[in-house]
Chains A and B, each alone.
Chain A
């Protein structure tokens, strides 16, 4: 912040010189320096991903013999075709989509029911139950890994997608409830009261009135869940051993092992794994930004 006020002297009396209206040269300079700084940070954040995309289109010869900053001479799109058809990438991709969707739907529906019961219905102990869900946020997944592994083994759910979908749901319920909570609390009570007067059942109120009203926040929660589930690693790595049930994150990790020197193939695999999230971000960035902000700030 020193750049704002280079002389460091305390301001006495008028604050005119710091107002944007007068904009002395020093202020313009400070503004410029800060802007350059912010842009440099942006370059740092984005450049590795651009570089990844560049080497995904290169041949091994280009990767190893030319500057890492050079553009690919003849973009080798066949790197993508190769990794997509050669290993199980397409299968991992479908598994990721399936588990992610199943867990997201289950989580959002269950979390909505819980949040409705906690915020809109009248009963003692609702704060206690809420607390039980919220403490779940602080529990490290690694502390549950061994018991979950042995429980799933004993119940024959090991190496079974159900174990993955259920754990994703359980571990995402706390954050999802947290995102939904503020929105539910802010809903006007008159609508429900009117519905009760008209003789609507509680299920009717929840499914036909409240739930549709919460569509925007459900979408936000669903997207946050999607990002978490799509990128999850340790549960799949621990509970799934068959190739046919692996997801992209674990699949690519094993798959990349075959291509120690073929950076083009590795790059293409990685780009395939991150593309769905990037596309979702480009389309839905405002919702994602809002969801991350609302999901974390309330604690």
Chain B
């Protein structure tokens, strides 16, 4: 019977189509990105090999570092918002009536296209007719800011819809993990006199540490490559105030036609994502034996 289930030809037949797609459309392109990063190239004409020059320019590019800083701020805020999501999930999972319904309502924004979310929040932030400023004027703030057009506020104004968009997603993940904790463990701690706070911190959190670790990676890496919403809401503006790495790359390639330089940014982005993933997994690996 092993003969049938270890037929090499069939294995190759089942694996090859998918592997071919992943190799040609994901792996080959990332190698090419590294290669193009060594070129001076406008995307149409000849490529000129210029070695590491793009990377050297990149290291000194103040606009790039500004966008990288914005990406990292997004990552930081996304990681911090996980605490809030976790808090909500813990309450939600503690036998609250209608928890299922609430959880589903939280999830709805996650289902919408970032483009639609961006357009919707542009209307919410609209300086004169938006929902936000109408409320602010109504409660007596006479001169509310023009959120997305304000260089000091644009990035923060974009973080709110991001938190809004992903809340349900993370709450759902935490909720599912918390529901997997055996009731007997919580009950035993309760009988021993542990307070709800102690139960949450000392029993529930350690038990779902693996899941928390995954969500930190998802939130941080997701933020580092964040693009759609910013591209639509501000296009990186005003004056680069909300530019992130991915939008900077896109702009250099498809607006500035500097494909070599954009590839260098793309490759750098890839390396950052992989390194950050590795660090987070490594750094939180100590908690693994708890499971």
Contacts and interface: CB of A to CB of B under 8 A. Distances in A.
Nearest to B97: A35
A242 interface: no
Interface stretch (B50-58, B147-155, B225-233, B282-290): B225-233
Nearest to A232: B113
A98 B56 CA distance: 44
A219 interface: no
Output the residue of B6, B104, B123 with the most chain A CB within 10 A.
B123
Output the residue of B4, B32, B103, B196 with the most chain A CB within 10 A.
B4
Nearest to B276: A138
Output the residue of A18, A63, A139, A299 with the most chain B CB within 10 A.
A139
Given A142-B266, A249-B115, A253-B232, A192 B96 contact: no
B140 interface: no
Interface in B89-113: 90-92, 96-97, 102-113
A96 B132 CA distance: 32
A145 interface: yes
B141 to A, nearest CB: 16
A110 B18 contact: yes
A112 B24 CA distance: 20
A4 B35 CA distance: 58
Contact of A297 (B43, B96, B214): B214
B249 A234 contact: no
B39 to A, nearest CB: 11
B121 to A, nearest CB: 7
Contact of A15 (B102, B119, B169, B191): B191
Contacts of B190: 15, 18-19
Contacts of A63: 129
Contact of A121 (B5, B87, B197, B228): B5
B196 A18 contact: yes
Interface residues of B, number: 104
A253 B88 CA distance: 34
Contacts of A14: 193
Interface string A51-64: 11001000000011
A111 B116 contact: no
B62 interface: no
A12 B232 CA distance: 56
Contact of B116 (A2, A234, A273): A273
A71 to B, nearest CB: 14
B120 A270 contact: yes
A140 B224 contact: yes
B29 A148 contact: yes
A193 to B, nearest CB: 6
A285 B104 contact: yes
B158 interface: no
Contacts of A37: 91
A253 B120 contact: no
Chain B: interface secondary structure? helix
A79 interface: no
A147 B32 contact: yes
A162 to B, nearest CB: 12
B88 A41 contact: yes
A151 B173 CA distance: 37
Interface in A282-299: 285, 288-289, 292-293, 296-297, 299
Nearest to B129: A64
A140 B270 contact: yes
A215 interface: no
A278 interface: yes
B10 A121 contact: yes
A145 B254 CA distance: 10
Interface in B254-280: 254, 259, 262-263, 266-267, 269-270, 273-274, 277
Contacts of B172: 289, 292-293
A48 B109 CA distance: 9
Interface in B165-190: 167-169, 172-173, 175-177, 190
Nearest to A176: B18
A238 B115 CA distance: 15
Interface in A110-151: 110-111, 113-114, 116-118, 120-123, 129, 132-133, 136, 138-151
A5 interface: yes
Contacts of B5: 120-122, 192, 196, 202
A45 B14 contact: no
Interface in B6-43: 6-8, 10-11, 14-15, 17-19, 21-22, 24-30, 32-33, 36, 43
Interface of B: 1-2, 4-8, 10-11, 14-15, 17-19, 21-22, 24-30, 32-33, 36, 43, 87-88, 90-92, 96-97, 102-116, 119-121, 123-124, 129-131, 134, 164, 167-169, 172-173, 175-177, 190-198, 200, 211, 214-215, 217-218, 221, 224-225, 227-228, 231-232, 246, 249-250, 253-254, 259, 262-263, 266-267, 269-270, 273-274, 277
26 contacts: A34-B96, A38-B96, A45-B167, A49-B108, A69-B131, A113-B15, A120-B5, A123-B11, A139-B26, A139-B273, A140-B224, A143-B269, A143-B270, A144-B266, A146-B266, A147-B32, A149-B253, A151-B32, A166-B25, A192-B5, A231-B114, A253-B232, A270-B119, A274-B116, A285-B104, A296-B215
